[in-house]
Structure 1
Amino acid sequence: MGTEDRKLQQSASNLEKSLLRLEEALHENHDNRLIVDGTIQRFEFTIELYWKTLKRLLQVEGIVVKTPKETLKEAYQVGWLENEKAWLQMLRDRNETFHTYNEELALQIVENIQEYFPEMKKTFSDLRGKGKL
């Protein structure tokens, strides 16, 4: 197994763990500000791992991408993402939470994360089923 294969395997493992941690956070009571903050942080981390893993997968296919947005668009083009619009909105939400903090926005984004999570989980499962992860 080459270095790139090991890196890809590690990325997949980290992404899977991150999805599990995010799912745990989504089952908590979001009346608690600390839980809201933790859920958002887990979401940010998961989105970061997702785009970097997809970037690595695209490189294996000979497709060079540089930015998270470009990575998601290319992953959609090759059929690895079903809902490009949802993934791009996830990225926008991640950028919103990363650069500013607003309590109302935070609560809205946690609601959005609840809606996004099935797509995130399905995409991971699909990638694994296609032998990509």
Structure 2
Amino acid sequence: MKKFDNFSSNLQVLQKAEQEDLENEFIISGIIDKFFIQFELSWKVLKELLRYEGKTAANSGSPREILKAAYEVYDFIDEDIWLDMLKSRNDMTHIYDGNAAKRLVDSILHRYIPEFVKLRVNIMERYRDVLPLI
């Protein structure tokens, strides 16, 4: 699945974020931008997997609806963290001060990246035989 390949590639880059200079505002901005892309790729991968599973919720264009449906289908989805990610993604356009950006980066590094990794591992485990076909 091309979306999953893009998800995995972007995640590999995002996982390197903690090794960067987290005091540099350009690095912070880049991490936030990469998170935004990763989140978008994530819910779109989940949408495709829900479609594969025959779930009508996959017809929704709403990330919130896709996440809620995914939570019902997959036991490895932590609904609270994913809804926090959605809120962070939605609030990103309103981050004007450096402290708020640093707090978001802290959440990205310590809550969101591990959740993306968990998603990748579980998708690979559950769909290993059909992933290239989806």
* TM-score, normalised with respect to structure 1: 0.87
How far does residue 80 in structure 1 lie from its aligned partner after superposition? 5.1
Distance 1:45 1:109 in 2: 15
In the TM superposition, what whole-angstrom CA distance separates every residue of 1:21-42 from its partner, at most 9, and x where no partner exists?
1112232121000000000000
* 2:74 corresponding residue in structure 1: 79
Higher relative contact order (CA 8 A, sep 6+): 2
The one of 13, 31, 34 equivalent to 2:23 is: 31
Is 1:100 the counterpart of 2:94 in the alignment?
Answer: yes
Distance 1:22 1:80 in 2: 24
The answer to whether the 8 A contact 1:75-1:81 is kept is no
Residues 36, 110 of structure 1: 8 Å contact kept? yes
Relative to the length of structure 2, the TM-score reads: 0.86
Q: For residue 101 of structure 1, report the CA deviation from its aligned partner.
A: 2.6
Structure 1 residues 80, 21: closer, same or farther in 2, change over 3 A? farther
Moved more, 42-51 or 21-30: 21-30
Aligned residues: 124
What runs of 5+ residues in structure 1 fail to find an aligned partner? Answer: 1-8
Please, which of 45, 52, 73 is the counterpart of residue 53 of structure 1? 45
Root-mean-square deviation (CA), in Å? 1.4
Mapped partners of 2:101, 2:12: distance in 1:
21
Q: Give percent identity, aligned residues only.
A: 34
Q: 2:54 is matched with which residue? A: 62
Unaligned runs of 5+ in 2: none
Distance apart, 1:90 and its partner CA? 0.8
What amino acid is the match of 1:101?
A: I
Residue 85 of structure 1: CA displacement? Answer: 0.3
Tell me what 1:117 maps to: 113
